[in-house]
Chain A
Amino acid sequence: MRSTLTNDPKTLKKRRLISSIVQNITFLAASASTIAVIIILATLINESISFFEKVNIFEYLTGTEWTILFEEKKFGILPLLNATLLSSFVALALAVPIGLAIAIYLGEYAGPKIKNVLKPIIELLAGIPTVVYGYFALYFVTPQFLRLFLPDIQINNVLAAGLMIGFLIIPIVASISEDAIRSVPLDLRLAAYAVGARKSEVVTKIVIPAALSGIFASIILAFGRAMGETMIVAIAAGFRPILSFDVRESMETMTGFIAQVATGDAPHGTIEYNSLFAVGLTLLLMTYPLNLIALRVLKKWAIKY
């Protein structure tokens, strides 16, 4: 500030000009993410159009065989879609109960000291690079743990990959649910205590129902994240595009297929190259609405309390 704050009209004009120039620069920066979203959509749609010029879109959506890397090419997305959903459901089956339990414990029971220690450890789950999870699934979880209970499990399998994705998304479920639990107003709890409820009843009958929409949003967000995970499935689930519901088997997810094509070399302009964008667009069309729903629920809910 100092001596710049004079009322001399000339410098005042200059100072205002600088401020509005900065405003315009920051507006440009703020538009960057919008431009990025447009480029992402335009690129995916544009390349997908060239894909669907060669492939019947109906066949793509309903076909049960995906043999794009073979001689005789078939383009049915269902095996990939099924594997994506299957691994994500396994992930949610692990992450929802554990994440919720963590959220309730940290939000309702843990003292501030314990919380300060435990929270960073839980956050660590989201910070570990996903190649590490894939590695752990392939060389430890499947051969040395899952094989004890499921002797005929394949080396690459959806179960281990799904479980690893589950651990990866625990922090999403835990932290958003905990926020939801902690913003349940004190009045509600006090009212319950006043009519003689005990702590465990307040938690299960008052706090959790009141926080339900926040918890729901956390699960939806985690689901979207699970479907988009790539490295874990590329390493641990394998590249076998089959339509099956047996999680002990090796399967290829949509992201796994994208990784497989990238690992080999798909020359620019081939159908394999175009398929990257079609599968990518399909994936985005599944995760994007989930994201929107979750954000809307969270926003509405923030207004409510």
Chain B
Amino acid sequence: MGHQVLAIRNRRKVILDIYMPIIYSIGLFIAILFIGSLLLYITVTGAHRLSWELLTNFPSSNPKQAGMLPAIYGTIWTVGISTLISLPIGIATAIYLNEYSGMEKLRSFLQINLNSLAGVPSVIFGVVGLGFLSYTLGLGRSILVGSIVLAFLTLPLVTVSSLEALKAVPDDLRLGGYALGATRWEIIKSIVLPRALPMMLTGSILATSRAIGEAAPILIISGLVFIREIPTSPLDRFTVMPLQLYNWISRPQVEFRELASAGIILLLLLLILLNAATIYLRYRLSKRR
């Protein structure tokens, strides 16, 4: 009898062993199904509205002629300037934390602040950008303010990935440099950075794609303005691609909804391109090791 009970129990366990992975994989199926239906819906509703006019025209109250040219320029300006700010600061921070900083306490203090920055909701960056940069410093609701805000929003991302890149450089190489009598900076410059740079690049591309898709802080800083001119200076008012999409989404006409779909296709293509670049870089890196 006892033997039989044990056998049944065992069989149950074997069956459980077969079914458990299937149950766990349901999560993946739901996630993939969701992404699939989202992409399908966007494509079906927007593909027929893809046109050059979407790229080259100004926004208009007539959906047949409306385009997102100023928004594209706005995105290039803000994301470009923000990368110019966040990349050097992020890499330098990582260098300080990993290569220079001797005091454990100071380092963990700086790291806590970096983590705090990463935990601040993006909309609050917008609110503070508006209050401090636009009004207190008098920079206006300009491209420059948007860029600075995006730079600090993505700074933790750039720093953390740079830090990982630096940590991946073996210590032997540094010690070899010291043995030759090199100073710390010489070791960083000619041994550490060349090896860490490709991995830093992947992190910065990820940060860039995050900045491209961010709409909330830009909405707070620039408002839902109707931009009729291409921005020519960092102090001009501006809009960005996701914000232009928000504008179209919030209009009641079906035509604008389709236009938003077409715009989303463009935005997603851009992001997929950037992501493919990082995956390719990572692949190249893993091969080299």
Contact = CB atoms under 8 A, between A and B. Distances in A.
Interface of A: 1, 4-5, 7, 15-16, 18-19, 22-23, 25-34, 36-37, 39-40, 43-44, 47, 97-102, 104-105, 108-109, 118, 120-122, 124-125, 127-132, 134-136, 138-140, 167, 170, 198-201, 203-204, 224-225, 227-231, 234-235, 255, 258-259, 262-263, 265, 268, 276-277, 280, 283-284, 287-288, 290-292, 295
Interface stretch (B23-31, B55-63, B194-202): B23-31
B122 interface: yes
30 contacts: A19-B186, A23-B184, A33-B155, A33-B156, A33-B159, A98-B30, A105-B28, A125-B34, A127-B209, A127-B210, A129-B215, A131-B245, A131-B249, A135-B260, A136-B41, A140-B38, A198-B16, A201-B13, A204-B20, A228-B124, A230-B215, A230-B219, A231-B215, A235-B249, A259-B123, A263-B219, A280-B123, A280-B124, A283-B121, A284-B121
Interface in B245-280: 245-246, 249-250, 257, 260-261, 264, 267-268, 271, 275, 279
B31 A122 contact: yes
A7 B182 CA distance: 10
Interface stretch (B76-84, B85-93, B167-175, B230-238): B85-93
A36 B96 CA distance: 17
Contacts of A47: 131
Contact of B155 (A32, A230, A276, A287): A32
Contacts of A288: 116, 119-120
Contacts of B115: 291, 295
B127 A44 contact: yes
A124 B28 contact: no
The 10 A-B pairs with the shortest beta carbon distances in the complex, nearest first, are: A228-B121, A101-B27, A129-B213, A291-B119, A29-B92, A26-B96, A19-B185, A230-B216, A19-B183, A105-B24
B88 A98 contact: no
B42 interface: yes
Nearest to A261: B220
A186 to B, nearest CB: 19
A276 B127 contact: yes
Given A105-B24, A139-B257, A231-B246, A31 B31 contact: no
Nearest to A14: B183
Given A37-B117, A129-B214, A259-B220, 20 more contacts: A33-B114, A36-B155, A43-B132, A47-B131, A101-B23, A105-B24, A105-B25, A132-B264, A135-B261, A199-B20, A200-B17, A200-B20, A203-B20, A225-B121, A227-B121, A230-B216, A231-B219, A262-B126, A262-B219, A280-B124
Contacts of A130: 213, 215-216
